[in-house]
């Protein structure tokens, strides 16, 4: 079974915009779209770039709510506020990714109430309504305090193993990491090895539902 490849990008803002654009420009010839993890209040002047990328086929994903034990009522208020901010800048999203890769039970309840379709956490992409999930852990360049060749190789090898197994392969990139030597190349190497294993590029928004995947 061939793998599906999702590359997500967080940390988008005025200070990282050049790095975001460079990564997107490197992925375009590879025909790999980005899932853009957006915190609307942090976008600033980067919002026009996000709108442009969305018009080219990148997916917009609401990013935030880092508290692991956030109750449903409070999560709902924060989601409503974020949606209002998104509307104000001409963006919309029905897919959510928690800021620390873990969504609290209260957040999942609030997502369902506010009609979000998907939640992409550290281990899977979940249908909010049904609770069904497409498994696939995130592969990332982590710990911005250090970066080196071993970290780069770890990302590439982990991505290769995932793509060989089939199913869902996910690479996540924090734009704030891309200033480190070799970071962007490590991401591109990981993408290339996934493509070499016939992974099909897609976004969170375009992923088939778990029902479709199980029926295939």
> Among 31, 34, 56, 4, which Cα is nearest to 178's?
34
Q: What is the pLDDT of residue 141?
A: 76
Q: Spell out the per-residue pLDDT of the chain, length 216, in tens.
A: 678 999 999 999 999 999 999 999 999 999 999 999 999 999 999 999 999 999 999 999 999 876 567 788 888 888 899 989 999 999 999 999 988 767 878 888 999 998 899 999 988 999 998 889 999 989 987 654 455 566 778 888 999 999 999 899 999 999 998 988 788 999 999 999 999 999 999 999 999 877 554 443
Q: What is the pLDDT of residue 148?
A: 58
> Among 143, 156, 151, which Cα is nearest to 189's?
156
Q: What is the pLDDT of residue 129?
A: 85
Q: What is the pLDDT of residue 145?
A: 43
| Widest pairwise Cα distance in the chain | 45
Domains of the chain: 4-214 (3.20.20.370)
Q: How far apart are CA 170 and CA 121, in angstroms?
A: 11
Q: What is the pLDDT of residue 107?
A: 85
Q: What is the pLDDT of residue 215?
A: 40
Q: What is the pLDDT of residue 175?
A: 95
Q: What is the pLDDT of residue 112?
A: 92
């Amino acid at each position: 079974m061939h793998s599906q490849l999702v590359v997500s990008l967080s940390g988008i803002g005025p200070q990282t915009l050049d790095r975001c654009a460079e990564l997107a420009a490197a992925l375009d010839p590879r025909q790999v779209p980005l899932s853009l993890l957006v915190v609307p209040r942090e976008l600033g002047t980067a919002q026009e770039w996000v709108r442009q990328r969305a018009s080219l086929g990148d997916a917009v994903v609401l990013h935030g709510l880092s508290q692991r034990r956030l109750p449903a009522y409070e999560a709902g208020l924060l989601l409503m506020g974020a949606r209002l901010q998104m509307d104000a800048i001409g963006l919309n999203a029905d897919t959510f990714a928690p800021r620390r890769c873990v969504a609290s039970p209260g957040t999942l309840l609030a997502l369902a109430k506010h009609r979000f379709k998907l939640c992409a956490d550290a281990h899977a992409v979940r249908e909010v309504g049904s609770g069904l999930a497409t498994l696939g852990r995130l592969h990332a360049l982590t710990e911005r305090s250090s970066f080196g060749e071993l970290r780069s190789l770890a990302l590439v090898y982990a991505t290769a193993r995932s793509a060989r197994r089939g199913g869902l392969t996910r690479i996540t990139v924090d734009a704030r990491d891309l200033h480190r030597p070799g970071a962007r190349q490590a991401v591109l190497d990981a993408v290339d090895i996934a493509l070499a294993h016939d992974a099909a590029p897609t976004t969170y928004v375009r992923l088939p539902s778990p029902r479709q995947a199980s029926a295939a």
